[in-house]
């Protein structure tokens, strides 16, 4: 009877580990910014599964580095500010990036600068109708 309980515990632990690797454990995060199209955010899980989100450039108001205080520690992260359709000056949503990988501030600054260059090119480029 004890071996049956032990076998059930091992089985449940293995199932939990598989679920964790497939749905929770993010192995890699990437960001692709194309000025004329939009921003693609991809998360690759440890199981090999990928999750991709695409944000049209017309929805993007700005990209910023934000900071939060968590457990007596300051955490920096990059956010995409989405434009509010009803209010051109407002922000409808804040989309945080790289939540699992938590890169250092110097890496975030490089990402921020690259995004700002692309956004600036989009603003200065002539609009075609």
> What does the mean pLDDT of the chain come to?
88
Tell me the pTM: 0.74
Give the pLDDT band (50/70/90) at residue 129.
very low
**Tokens linked to 94:** 């804040």
Instruction: Give percent above pLDDT 70 in the chain.
Output: 96
Cα diameter, the chain: 76
* pLDDT greater than 90 at residue 5: no
Q: Which of 51, 49, 48 is nearest to 40 (CA)?
A: 51
Q: Where are the domains of the chain?
A: 1-124
pLDDT (tens digit per residue) in 22-34: 777 788 999 999 8
Contact 60, 83 (CB under 8 A): yes
Count other Cβ atoms within 10 Å, centred on residue 88: 8
SS3 45: strand
pLDDT (tens digit per residue) in 37-70: 999 999 998 778 889 999 999 899 999 999 989 8
Paired sense of beta strands 38-45 and 91-96, if any: unpaired
């Amino acid at each position: 009877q004890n071996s049956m309980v032990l076998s059930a515990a091992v089985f449940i632990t293995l199932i939990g580990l598989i679920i964790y690797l497939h749905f929770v454990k993010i192995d890699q995060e990437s960001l692709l910014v194309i000025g004329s199209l939009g921003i693609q955010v991809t998360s690759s899980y440890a199981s090999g599964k990928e999750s991709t989100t695409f944000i049209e450039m017309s929805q993007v108001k700005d990209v910023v580095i934000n900071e939060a205080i968590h457990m007596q520690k300051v955490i920096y992260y990059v956010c995409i500010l989405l434009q509010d359709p009803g209010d051109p000056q407002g922000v409808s949503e804040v989309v945080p990036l790289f939540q699992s990988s938590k890169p250092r501030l110097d890496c975030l600054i490089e990402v921020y600068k690259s995004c700002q260059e692309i956004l600036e090119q989009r603003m200065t480029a002539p609009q075609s109708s």
